[in-house]
Amino acid sequence: MSKKYESVIGLETHIELSTNTKMFCGCKLSFGEESNVHTCPVCLGHPGSLPVVNKKAIEYAIKIALAVNCKIREYTIFHRKNYFYPDQAKNYQISQYDLPLGVGGYLDVDMGDYVRRVGITRVHMEEDTGKLLHTGRTGRISESVASIVDFNRGGTPLIEIVTEPDIKSPEEAKEYLIRLRNLILYRGVSNCNMEEGSLRCDANISVKKVGEERIGTKTEIKNLNSFKFLQKGLQYEIERQTNLLESGGKVIQQTRHYDNNTNMTKVLRSKEEAHDYRYFPEPDLVPMHIESKVVDEVRCTIGELPAEKAERFEKEYNLPKYDSSFLSNDKKVARYFEDCCKLYSNAKNISNWIMGDFSALLNKEGIDINDSKIKPANLASMLKIIDGGKINSKIAKSVFEEMFKTGESPQVIIEKMGLEQISDGGLLEDIIEEIIKENPGTVKQYKNGKKKAIGFLIGRVMARTKGKANPKMVNEIMTKKLK
């Protein structure tokens, strides 16, 4: 991007709550089930049916609003958002309009060198729509093209979090979403699974000349449903808008769709009139008065937050700041770490393995620490075995990889693969003597004062023992023999 321009970004994030039932009826929340098996007159919008608010959904919504430091409105109501689209059977969506649940919050996003405070305009509640499956794309022109609607998802409690246009780069946008997701996962109110659509993100973006007060014309980008797509879609759009302005063109306010196959944004058919939603208060639902006592009760049920946990880890386990924040960022990792700490006392060793080899393997496989075959007990045993001198840290890497693959205990793997460290002084002495005999040149160099040459000889010993020799003993014996 040309340095002459800067970008202004605001995000709208939708989060499906993980309640048992829908927002306004007792139908079960489901994913990936047979279509239209979880519906009733309420979520199908039959005339005469009446919605009733799910109390748990309100509690969860308050938790999310508090997570982003919003003020909870004491008086809040639902509105009808009217539009004609077959993803809603009622031809309106029950949502919130000018009296949303949470207002005026913020989220601090740590960018390493600086912290970006992103203002949160509002947190509001609504119901999710049904799912449209498009059919008939066989390529034949005569084939009529239709959509099939599945209302299983229709009515799922949904929270929308809208930021101020405070985000300045695609990287900040990505970090914001990561942080938001972690906060919500911590509260256990949504599984935030982006692939299943329980966390969805749209972005508003414009560019302006550096220093210019006035914000440029913005576009809205839809379908930014992974951290990578969010970043890439924004990058593409910044470039597109900048090139447009540079060449004397104008940005047109429109909604664009991000296509992750081409990594481009494409304009959606313009529906300028569709934004006239004719909101009005939902007459089927009575107002909600959320007393501060209720908010305080909800606040009490919120467990330790990432920042608090990081601080505790630093003190309780004597860990560096970096380790503490790494381990506490994801609730599951934090629990895993603490489970290991109950079984093995050197917390820094545990942290090193989790942050290093373990994270690398988890990332490569794209799985959560909980889904790993390595259980805390096995990691703890392996660390004890290393401390006991039975294997060295290099061999431990192979043992760890095998544990990751098979889930077997380190003891079994060491035995099966014959990885036990050679700490037999007599045996090591024999091997070292062999190596000394085979490398007279290097020995001469060493004796002439080139002390570094010992490294080569030790390397030969390690190679001959396939890395199993106790490195400390090899060093001692070798030094003695070369005198």
Site for other proteins in 283-312 (CB under 8 A): 283, 285-289
> x/- binding map, residues 157-186, to other proteins, per CB under 8 A?
------------------------------
> 225 is in the binding site of which of other proteins, Zn ion, none (Cβ under 5 to 8 A by kind)?
none
- For residue 478, what is the enclosing H or E element? helix 471-481
Question: Is 57 among the residues that bind Zn ion (CB under 5 A)?
Answer: no
Nearest 10 degrees: CA dihedral of 427, 433, 435, 439?
180
Do residues 70 and 167 lie in contact, with contact meaning Cβ atoms separated by under 8 Å? no
Tokens of 480: 């003695």
Closer residue to other proteins in complex, CB, 255/378: 255
Angstrom distance (rounded) from CA 366 to CA 370: 12
Pick the piece of the chain touching other proteins (CB under 8 A) from 143-151, 244-252, 358-366, 376-384: 143-151
Strand partners, 7: 207
Closer residue to other proteins in complex, CB, 90/309: 90
Residue 20 has phi, psi (to 5 degrees) of: -75, -35
Cβ of residue 41: shortest distance to Zn ion, in angstroms?
A: 7
Question: Is 84 among the residues that bind other proteins (CB under 8 A)?
Answer: yes
Question: Is 31 among the residues that bind other proteins (CB under 8 A)?
Answer: no
Q: Considering only CA atoms, which of 325, 330, 320 is closest in space to residue 310?
A: 325
Angstrom distance (rounded) from CA 473 to CA 481: 12
∠ at Cα 186 (180, 191), nearest 5°?
Answer: 80
> 367 is in the binding site of which of other proteins, Zn ion, none (Cβ under 5 to 8 A by kind)?
none
> 283 is in the binding site of which of Zn ion, other proteins, none (Cβ under 5 to 8 A by kind)?
other proteins
Angstrom distance (rounded) from CA 187 to CA 349: 29
Closer residue to other proteins in complex, CB, 188/389: 188
Residues 6+ apart with CB under 8 A from 385: 391, 396, 410, 411, 414
Pick the piece of the chain touching other proteins (CB under 8 A) from 23-31, 159-167, 321-329, 470-478: 23-31
Question: Is 25 among the residues that bind Zn ion (CB under 5 A)?
Answer: yes
Binding residue (CB under 5 A) for Zn ion from 1, 8, 40, 290 = 40
Do residues 132 and 86 lie in contact, with contact meaning Cβ atoms separated by under 8 Å? yes
> 134 is in the binding site of which of other proteins, Zn ion, none (Cβ under 5 to 8 A by kind)?
other proteins
Site for other proteins in 243-262 (CB under 8 A): none
Pick the piece of the chain touching other proteins (CB under 8 A) from 62-70, 79-87, 246-254, 419-427: 79-87
Cβ of residue 294: shortest distance to other proteins, in angstroms?
A: 9
> What does the DSSP 8-state code read for residue 341?
H
> 235 is in the binding site of which of Zn ion, other proteins, none (Cβ under 5 to 8 A by kind)?
none
Binding residue (CB under 8 A) for other proteins from 34, 113, 195, 296 = 34
Angstrom distance (rounded) from CA 97 to CA 441: 84
Tokens of 60: 């969860």
Angstrom distance (rounded) from CA 300 to CA 232: 39
CB count within 10 Å of CB 159 equals 24
> x/- binding map, residues 87-106, to other proteins, per CB under 8 A?
--------------------
Cβ of residue 152: shortest distance to other proteins, in angstroms?
A: 9
> 289 is in the binding site of which of Zn ion, other proteins, none (Cβ under 5 to 8 A by kind)?
other proteins
For β-strands 255-259 and 219-222, DSSP reports them as parallel
Can you tell me which residue has the tokens 């509260």? Answer: 187
Site for other proteins in 51-70 (CB under 8 A): 52-58
Binding residue (CB under 5 A) for Zn ion from 43, 57, 161, 474 = 43
Pick the piece of the chain touching Zn ion (CB under 5 A) from 38-46, 112-120, 134-142, 256-264: 38-46
Tokens of 258: 């991000």
Question: Is 77 among the residues that bind other proteins (CB under 8 A)?
Answer: yes
Question: Is 278 among the residues that bind other proteins (CB under 8 A)?
Answer: yes
Q: Considering only CA atoms, which of 76, 82, 17, 26 is closest in space to residue 49?
A: 26
Site size toward other proteins, by CB under 8 A: 53
Question: Is 23 among the residues that bind Zn ion (CB under 5 A)?
Answer: no
Angstrom distance (rounded) from CA 47 to CA 90: 9
Do residues 79 and 279 lie in contact, with contact meaning Cβ atoms separated by under 8 Å? yes
For β-strands 199-209 and 219-222, DSSP reports them as antiparallel
* Contact residues for Zn ion, defined by CB under 5 A: 25, 27, 40, 42-43
* Contact residues for other proteins, defined by CB under 8 A: 19-21, 25-28, 34-41, 44, 46, 52-58, 77, 82-86, 133-136, 145-151, 268-269, 273, 276, 278, 281, 283, 285-289
